[in-house]
Amino acid sequence: MNTAILIPVLLVLAPLIPAVVSAFLSGHAGWRNGVNIGFAALKLALVTYALAGVAAGAEYEWRIAFVPGLDLVLRLDALALLFVTLSAVLWVATTLYAIAYLKGTPHQARFFAFFNLCVVAASGIAMSGSLITFFVFYEILTLATWPLVVHTGSAKAMAAGRTYLAYTLAGSAALLAGIVWLESGSGPVEFADGADLSGFSTLSASVIFALLIGGLGAKTALIPLHPWLPAAMAAPAPVSALLHAVAVVKAGAFGVVRVIYDVYGIETVAALGLGIPLAALASATIIYGSLQALCQSDIKKRLAYSTVSQVSYIVLGASLAGPFAVIGGLVHLVHQGLMKITLFFGAGVLAERAGITGIAQMDGIGRRMPITMAAFSVAALGMIGVPPVAGFVSKWYLALGGYQSGASWVVGVLIASSLLNAAYFLPMLYRAWLKPSADTLPSRETLASTRTWLLILPGAFTAMAALGAGLFAGFELSPLGWATLIVERIYLP
Amino acid sequence: MNLLFALVALPLLFMLASLVAGRHGPRLIWLSAPLMTGLAVWLAIAVHTAPEGGALGGWPVPLGIMLEADGLAAALMLASAITAAITGLFALGSYGTTRAETTRSYTFWPLFYGLWAAVNAVLVSRDLFNLYVAIELLSICAVALAAFGSRKAAMDYLMIALAGSLAYLLGVVLIFAAVGTLDLSLIAERAPEARTSILIGAALISAGLIAKTALFPLHGWLPPAHGAAPPAVSALLSALVVKASFVILLRVWFEALPGLTEQAIITGFGVLGAAAILYGSALALRQEGLKALIAYSTVAQLGYLFLVFPLAGGGEAITLWAAGAWGAMGFHASAHMLAKAGLFLAAGLMIHASGNGRMDGLTGLARAMPVTTFAFALCAVSLMGLPPSGGFMAKYLMLIASLASGQWPYALVIIAGGLMAAAYLFRPLARMFAGTETPAITPLAHGWLPLAPLALAIAAMALGLLSAAPYELMVSGLPEAGEAGLEEVEP
């Protein structure tokens, strides 16, 4: 038997085992941390092996039947691997960061159990080979995230949890309705084959598409389904980092890509005339999110609205459906993850070590916490689209894609968004580096004595990665190289 | 054949033994739980290959008594064996040997085994009179157990159960007078001769069984009785008792009278089921007591079972599993058994620990009782119909069946019901996670008690994840009407 088909299963099990172990090691922080880091490293090794295999043209698939004809399929193709790699790399960074961030706080066992369960779900979503598999993992993600959002138990966290559930569960209901409607007519849908839409009228097919995208849009935070995301800021910083960079919003965006390319197919989406409305919605979200971000005075809130805006780049790229646009959207899945996680790591460090949560308090913090703020600045510049940070590559390809698809207004959207990004990120950098330090900041000595490298280095690492992804974008195994590979396989079968 | 006999007779033997054994009676569960579960597993494996059945004592019908297990019976038998076994072990905490002997610790066990025997008898009987005997034994045990909680609720329950029995018996008499037999398959053969009187009889039978199943609008007795009883009893009542009368209803319409059913009757069951889902969920949303909430949830969840009438094969089989409504009903019944029993057991532990049965008494319990909370959450996930759980597979198959057959209003009700279930079940869950303090709790009788609801919750999850084998079992040997739809079968 070919053991390689077990790779998808192992990739799901790698985070599942520490999830279960963490739940039972409530009093043994050392052991728990060891297990978590060990399995995160193991997963990285597996991903590396799979990368080599898939680059050479292999596809790994594993399946088990739910009912006859309806299978749970885990399938590792190039697109799946893009998301799996992102989640594996950021899982390591976030685990290290969370260990340092939560040190000495209660209920860490519960935290790490659900945290790892989120990674299980994200891996499962990435490797789903059929709609039903996707939905199963998508819902596991919905449920596993809730205990993390309400982790602190404060009234604010509970309210955030309620808002989160209201939006995501309503989204799930719409998604399920769409899936069932589709499958009741076409039979079980597998991504490798796409759906057979011959039994549906144009109107039904469009309504189903709207249900699917609407359901996924709740997690992607497309307007008007975005309010849960800024509210979820009540969660601890590692959770925000995970939510924004890897798990929840990305799961939605990834689902949108799957629906457009592997369920409906680009030609069908174009024939039904569904791509441009979706691109318009994504553009509206991009501008609206940026405008809202500009109005926030709280760091995490501003970052949250920035996510609302940035994740829609992925949807925009997918819905424009030209090769360059798709490359831009897919590569942004990775780039936005790297940059946004850096920003949230930084925001968490600021809050934890210097008590800074508002933008007005950031005066002069750059000189007191140079590594954290340098990383933060790299990521912020990347979000604006300053070369050579990764964000520039995404925007370049999206703009090219806009031209290529005959939707040159996209370039206008991108320019407007970049200006807005600059308008809300640059003042933060200006305050941090150029303003004199406020008296309320902790002194250098205090900061030096409380320095925890585990809290600082993950952010520095992800910032380097974001920089590297931009600098070395021309290499085959860079995110851009990989996205190009995926798109070549879509367009040149 | 002997296996079926053993599954009915052994609980009766345990009932007698527990009466004789006196204060050692509770210990019998350590023997009966694994034994009965093992036999049920054996039956499921046997039925998977061929339906199990035969005449008792070798006397053929109409002289002898037929026992028969199709796939649905075997699957429900296994689910109820797991539920009853775990609930029985859990009951050791309240009615075990470590406490001083009380009237209740003495009376609980015979009633428990009587109830178990009756459920098994219902599942394998193929004869209206046998079914009557079984459902009567079940009602008597259930009412007596319900009296552990509230005498008044138990009296109401008794009245309804008796009225239901009378209606049932009257219907049986009418049918017997018309066709001269009580065996289901013989009735099916002879039914067209006396269509009118049989339909009247069937209507009476249905009315009686609907009252016992607590289908909307005859559900009023259920929430007080199930909500007030001790946790182990509530679990048995909600998980097993109401399912048994529903199974008889299935047998009557799908096996004895396929082809006699009018569209109006099918729609009637479907509409009542849909109303139960919406009404029960709406009331569950408004409850402040934890157990009352779970009891109203039972009213809502029972509604889904009745959707099998309009959904079973109601349309042209476009997809491979469009006729999956039968399987969906089996999944829903099994998943609800496991999850609802788990929910009641977990709630019982929480109420004991916090000393407060209201919603605000749950504050912070996730920190004080993590295992119990986790079990509660998993059971809740299955009831909401979210993956990965047996409840999800049931809802998915039901949705497919309703859309494939063009009956989309039912799909809307099913989706709305899932959202409402999420709304009412996340209320207690949110209370458990709220706050920052860890509340002080009354210690439990045994440290391992939370494992009972956890085991049930894991079983409900496993039903969804490893659903292929249970599905094949449930649809194996299903009545023809279950596949083709009630109307399309010509007798």
Contacts of A142 in chain B (CB under 8 A): 386
Interface membership of B294 toward A (CB under 8 Å): no
Residue with tokens 């002080």: B440
pLDDT digits (tens, 9 = 90+) for B98-129: 666 677 778 889 999 999 999 999 999 888 88
Q: Answer yes or no: is A482 within a domain.
A: yes
Measured between CB atoms, which of A161, A170, A184 is closest to B419?
A170
Asked whether the beta carbons of B330 and B396 are under 8 A apart, the reply is no
Nearest to A69 by CA among B478, B321, B476, B323: B321
Q: Answer yes or no: is B155 within a domain.
A: no
Contacts of A140 in chain B (CB under 8 A): 387-388
To the nearest 10 degrees (0 to 180), the angle between helices A7-24 and A78-101 is 20
Q: Do A153 and B434 touch (CB under 8 A)?
A: yes
Nearest to A407 by CA among A295, A280, A305: A280
pLDDT at res. B491 = 40
CA–CA dist B248, B138 (Å, integer): 13
CA distance between the termini of chain A: 28
Measured between CB atoms, which of B320, B370, B430 is closest to A161?
B430
Q: Answer yes or no: is B164 within a domain.
A: no
Q: In terms of pLDDT, which residue wins out, B394 or B484?
A: B394
Residue window 176-235, chain B: list those with CB within 8 Å of chain A. none
Q: Choose, out of A9, A22, A66, the residue to mutate when testing the contact with B (most B CBs < 10 Å).
A: A66
Residue B157, phi then psi, degrees to nearest 5: -60, -45
Q: Answer yes or no: is A426 within a domain.
A: yes
Q: Which helix (H) or strand (E) holds A75?
A: strand A70-76
Q: In terms of pLDDT, which residue wins out, A105 or B278?
A: B278
Paired strand residues for A27 = none
Nearest to A344 by CA among A219, A239, A454: A239
Domain housing A434: 288-493
Q: Which helix (H) or strand (E) holds B290?
A: helix B290-306
List Cβ neighbours of A14 (8 Å cut-off, separation of 6 or more). Answer: A39, A40, A42, A43, A46, A123
Domain count, chain B: 2
Contacts of B366 in chain A (CB under 8 A): 110
Residue with tokens 């009245």: B159
Paired strand residues for A426 = none
Q: Choose, out of A131, A150, A176, the residue to mutate when testing the contact with B (most B CBs < 10 Å).
A: A176
CA–CA dist A190, A196 (Å, integer): 10
Q: Answer yes or no: is B101 within a domain.
A: yes
Domain count, chain A: 1
Q: Which residues of B105-133 are buried (b: 16+ CB within 10 A; e: fewer)?
A: bbbbbbbbbbbbbbbbbbbbbbbbebbbe
pLDDT at res. B119 = 95
Q: Helix, strand or coil for residue B54? A: strand
Concatenate the DSSP letters of all residues of B107-169 into one string.
HHHHHHHHHHHHHHHHHHB-BHHHHHHHHHHHHHHHHHHHTTT-HHHHHHHHHHHHHHHHHHH
Q: Give the residue from chain A lying closest to B380, CA to CA.
A: A143
And the tokens for B81? 């064996």
CA–CA dist A238, A103 (Å, integer): 12
pLDDT at res. B320 = 46
Asked whether the beta carbons of B141 and B181 are under 8 A apart, the reply is no
Residue A161, phi then psi, degrees to nearest 5: -60, -40
Question: What residues in chain A have their Cβ under 8 A from chain B's Cβ atoms?
Answer: 23, 26, 64-70, 106-107, 110, 132, 135-136, 139-140, 142-143, 147, 150, 152-155, 158, 161-162, 165, 169-170, 172-173, 176-177, 180-181, 183-185, 187-188, 199
pLDDT at res. B63 = 60
Confidence grade of residue B413 (pLDDT, cut at 50, 70, 90): very high
Q: Give the residue from chain A lying closest to B384, CA to CA.
A: A169
Domain housing B334: 276-478
And the tokens for A327? 């490359």
Contacts of B388 in chain A (CB under 8 A): 136, 139-140
Q: How far is A16 from chain B (nearest CA, A)?
A: 14
Q: Give the residue from chain A lying closest to B365, CA to CA.
A: A153
Q: Do B415 and A153 touch (CB under 8 A)?
A: no
Q: Choose, out of B285, B316, B363, B386, the residue to mutate when testing the contact with A (most A CBs < 10 Å).
A: B386
Q: In terms of pLDDT, which residue wins out, B482 or B163?
A: B163
CA–CA dist A318, A324 (Å, integer): 10
Q: Answer yes or no: is B165 within a domain.
A: no
Q: In terms of pLDDT, which residue wins out, A475 or B136?
A: B136
Q: Answer yes or no: is A194 within a domain.
A: no
Q: In terms of pLDDT, which residue wins out, B276 or A480?
A: B276
Residue window 312-331, chain B: list those with CB within 8 Å of chain A. 318-322, 324, 327
Q: Answer yes or no: is A154 within a domain.
A: no
CA–CA dist A394, A316 (Å, integer): 11
Q: Do B324 and A67 touch (CB under 8 A)?
A: yes
Asked whether the beta carbons of B383 and B344 are under 8 A apart, the reply is no
Measured between CB atoms, which of A154, A170, A181 is closest to B436?
A154
Confidence grade of residue B57 (pLDDT, cut at 50, 70, 90): low
Interface membership of B72 toward A (CB under 8 Å): no
Mean pLDDT of B36-64: 76
pLDDT at res. A170 = 93
List Cβ neighbours of B214 (8 Å cut-off, separation of 6 or more). Answer: B221, B222, B242, B298, B299, B302
Interface membership of B119 toward A (CB under 8 Å): no
CA–CA dist A361, B228 (Å, integer): 56
CA-based max dimension of chain B: 71
Q: Do A66 and B411 touch (CB under 8 A)?
A: no
Q: Do B433 and A152 touch (CB under 8 A)?
A: no
Interface membership of B400 toward A (CB under 8 Å): yes
And the tokens for B112? 């428990």
pLDDT at res. A368 = 83
Nearest to A132 by CA among A93, A96, A89, A179: A179
Q: Do A136 and B388 touch (CB under 8 A)?
A: yes
Q: Helix, strand or coil for residue B202? A: helix
Q: Answer yes or no: is B457 within a domain.
A: yes
How far from A374 is each of A159, A379, A482, CA to CA, in Å? 34, 9, 28
Q: Answer yes or no: is A186 within a domain.
A: no
Provide the residue-wise pLDDT of chain A in tens; the chain has 493 residues: 466 778 888 888 888 888 888 877 777 778 888 888 888 888 888 888 888 888 887 788 888 888 777 888 888 888 888 899 998 888 888 888 888 888 878 788 888 889 889 989 999 999 998 999 999 999 999 999 999 988 888 888 889 899 999 999 999 999 999 999 998 888 888 888 888 888 888 899 999 999 999 999 998 888 888 888 888 887 888 888 887 777 888 999 999 999 998 898 888 888 888 888 999 999 999 999 999 999 988 888 899 899 999 999 999 998 887 888 888 999 999 999 999 999 999 998 888 888 888 888 888 888 888 888 999 999 999 999 888 888 888 999 999 988 888 888 888 999 999 999 999 999 999 988 888 887 777 777 777 777 788 888 888 899 999 888 888 888 877 888 888 888 888 777 5
Residue A296, phi then psi, degrees to nearest 5: -85, 145
Q: Does B59 have pLDDT greater than 80?
A: no
Record the pTM.
Answer: 0.92
Q: Answer yes or no: is B333 within a domain.
A: yes
Q: How far is A47 from chain B (nearest CA, A)?
A: 25
Q: Answer yes or no: is A334 within a domain.
A: yes
Nearest to A283 by CA among A325, A241, A243, A251: A325
And the tokens for B413? 């009700």
Looking at B90, B124, B158, the residue that finishes a domain is B124
How far from A10 is each of A87, A399, B217, CA to CA, in Å? 15, 38, 50
Q: Do B392 and A136 touch (CB under 8 A)?
A: yes
Q: What is the DSSP letter of B362?
A: G
pLDDT digits (tens, 9 = 90+) for B279-325: 999 999 999 999 999 999 999 999 999 998 888 754 334 444 445 78
pLDDT digits (tens, 9 = 90+) for B360-369: 888 888 888 8
CA–CA dist B77, B450 (Å, integer): 24
Q: Helix, strand or coil for residue B15? A: helix
CA–CA dist A351, A356 (Å, integer): 5
CA–CA dist B279, B185 (Å, integer): 36
Q: Does B163 have pLDDT greater than 90?
A: yes
Q: Answer yes or no: is A29 within a domain.
A: no
Contacts of A152 in chain B (CB under 8 A): 436
Q: Do A153 and B392 touch (CB under 8 A)?
A: no
Q: Choose, out of A150, A184, A201, A204, the residue to mutate when testing the contact with B (most B CBs < 10 Å).
A: A184
CA–CA dist A431, A276 (Å, integer): 40
Mean pLDDT of B259-263: 74
Contacts of A153 in chain B (CB under 8 A): 364, 367, 433-436
Residue type, A135: F
Q: Answer yes or no: is B329 within a domain.
A: yes
Q: How many helices and strands in chain B, by DSSP H and E?
A: 22, 2
Asked whether the beta carbons of B185 and B221 are under 8 A apart, the reply is no
Q: Which helix (H) or strand (E) holds A22?
A: helix A7-24
CA–CA dist A151, A232 (Å, integer): 11
Q: Answer yes or no: is B71 within a domain.
A: yes
pLDDT at res. B482 = 59
